[in-house]
Amino acid sequence: MMNNLVDLVLAFLLLSGFGLLGSSRLVSCIRISAAQGIALGFLILAGNFGALSLRVMLIVAAVVALKGFVFPRLLVRALRESETSREVQPFVGYVGSLVIGVVILIVSFWLGLKAALPVASSLMVTVAFFLFLTGLFLIIARKTAVNQVVGYLVMENGIYTFGFAAAGEIPALVELGVLLDVFVAVFVMGIAIYRINSTFDHIDSDQLRSLRG
């Protein structure tokens, strides 16, 4: 029963990755990443159902609260206040992104089979790699700062999934991963305080040349 639930959540995580690659509105990207954060919490709960300890509960609480509610809310607010475009502004188009998503999925399946880590299901490793690479792709291929933060969150979700797949019983290490969220906090702060809209558009091309090569 629990295994079915794990598979269901993993399938949702895969689909949400494609949702991020294909969606054109920033607000829906943020919503999908929030849903992903909550799903991640379910995954950790379901994966450790036999041995639910206080430690696992606390991690789940922290992950769901931060990724599911706090960061999305802050990002939406930053988006509203910075009065920038609500569009994603991709360097790579939506269809291209989806094609790359399929390629990433194939590579992840291959890595999941190849890695042969000491884990319960190799599907978990596949999903971890898929989220990780998708996040990385979103950071590189999207122009707006908010979207890059979403990409970073997705990448982090991959690392969490991996951490619980490969290293579930490892003491006091997965908790350290929560520190990665400090970066997200700083990103959001950067957007809110310094009004960073997108990586390049606030600088005219003349100045841009000075930061090249």
Partner 1 sequence: MIFYFRELLLPALVLMPVLLVPLSRLFRTARGALWFGFAGNSLAGLAGCGAIVCVFLFGKIYAAGDWLMLDMLSAWHLAVLLLITMLCSLYSVIYFLRESQAGKFDLKTARRYVMLSLGSLSAIVLTLLSNNLGMMWVGLEATTLLTAFLICLNATPTALEAMWKYLLMCSVGVALAFAGILIVAASTSAAHFEQPEFLLWSRMMESAGQLDARLLKVGFIFLVVGFGTKAGLAPMHSWLPDAHSQAPAPVSAVFSGFLLNAALYCILRYVPLLDAALGGGGWAGGILVLFGLVSILIAAVFIVAQRDLKRLLAYSSVEHMGIIALGIGLGGLGVFAALFHVLNHSLCKTLSFFCAGRLDQKYGAHDMRKLTGILKTSPVWGTGLFGGLLALIGLAPFAVFISEFLVLKAAWDKGAIWALALFVTGLCIVFVGVLRHAIAMAWEDAPHGMERERIRGLELFLMALPLATLLTLGLWMPEPLNSFLTQAAAILGGK
Residue nearer to partner 1 on the CB measure, 95 or 208: 208
Residue nearer to partner 1 on the CB measure, 65 or 117: 117
- Residue 36: which of 110, 115, 108, 138 has the closest Cα? 138
Candidate residues 115, 124, 131, 188; the one interacting with partner 1 per rule CB under 8 A: 115
Query: Is residue 148 part of the contact set for partner 1 (CB under 8 A)?
Result: yes
Residues of this chain, 174-193, that bind partner 1 according to CB under 8 A: 174, 176-177, 179-180, 182-183, 186-187, 190
Query: Is residue 139 part of the contact set for partner 1 (CB under 8 A)?
Result: yes
* 2-22 vs 145-166: helix crossing angle, rounded to 10: 160
Query: Is residue 51 part of the contact set for partner 1 (CB under 8 A)?
Result: no
Which residues contact partner 1 by CB under 8 A? 115, 117-118, 132, 136, 139, 145, 148, 152, 155-156, 159, 162-163, 166-167, 170-174, 176-177, 179-180, 182-183, 186-187, 190, 194, 196, 199-200, 202-203, 207, 210-211, 213
